[in-house]
Amino acid sequence: MKTNELLKHYRLLANKTQKEWAGTAISPSFYSKIEKGLNRIAADDLINLLDYNGISVAEFFENINLEKSLQYNHEYELKRLINEAYYESSLSKLEHIKTLLEQGRLPNKDNLLTLVKGYIALVNNNIDDLDEKTKSAIRNRIFNISDFDQQTLATYCNFMRLYDLDSNFLIARKAIKKFSASNSLDVQIRVLGIITNLLFLCIENKRYAETKSLFVMAKSFPNRPELFFHKNLLLLLKNFVKYHTTGNSIYIDECQKSVKIVIFLGMPEYGKELERFLKENKLSN
């Protein structure tokens, strides 16, 4: 049973209208679309809705998938909530999901807990401090994937730093080959994210020659507003590689322009990370 179906099931059991069920937790009109499967519910909205109606979150997740044949959908939904919490940089949501998993009885509980621990480390910016067992579990889980889907694509993009550069090229080529022709915006964002991460790793490892093919791959993606952030990062990295290959400081000035755009877009902390990256790798020239 999917999330929207189970929400409707609980609502009908409570003999409530959609408006009564949504209450002050969520917009009734938005909830109506969720029940119809037209919109997805955010992790915090789902938790607030369940709390508002006095439903145990742990019980809800256990009841999403009571039949073994629907187990995949249950895990898929949980992974979506985990990914969503990570992209919101919500440590509280990730910790909450971790607690729910620890208290639950899911078949793949350990794998999901490993994933959540990894995302918590990413939000805390201490991925290197993860214990080796957890790192190895995440690496093996992604490396052994026989066929990428959109969720595993996102997971890999987020945990690329757990692999050495050669392993990343091996995994990334497989993912890029499968999804490079996709018209899906979400997929294009993930693939561009993988290419961008590879470029960062190439520069850090002073393997500038290998960036050429990555820039060629990135160039094939359309210029659409939703991809502007990644396109701006690609421009920064391209100018930084030019600085290293020519020694001309004008390219550093161009990099700074891209950093200012990131800050202007409302991401000052990430702008500082880019400044730090430029400084550290400029000195290593």
pLDDT attached to residue 147? 64
pLDDT attached to residue 70? 46
Quote the CA–CA distance of 240 and 230 in Å, as a whole number: 15
pLDDT attached to residue 91? 87
The pLDDT confidence band at residue 161, using thresholds 50, 70 and 90, is: confident
Quote the CA–CA distance of 246 and 244 in Å, as a whole number: 6
Region 89-99: mean pLDDT is: 87
Say whether pTM exceeds 0.85: no
Output the DSSP codes for 136-180.
Answer: HHHHHHHHT-SS--HHHHHHHHHTGGGS-HHHHHHHHHHHHHHHT
Region 61-65: mean pLDDT is: 66
Angle at 193 (CA atoms; ends 226, 130), nearest 5 degrees: 135
Write the pLDDT tens digit of every residue in 209-226. Answer: 999 999 999 998 888 899
pLDDT attached to residue 255? 96
Contact (CB, 8 A) for 211 and 205: no
Region 119-140: mean pLDDT is: 84
- For tokens 């996102």, what's the residue? 154
Asked if the model's pLDDT at residue 193 lies above 90, the reply is yes
pLDDT attached to residue 73? 61
Higher pLDDT, 176 or 232: 232
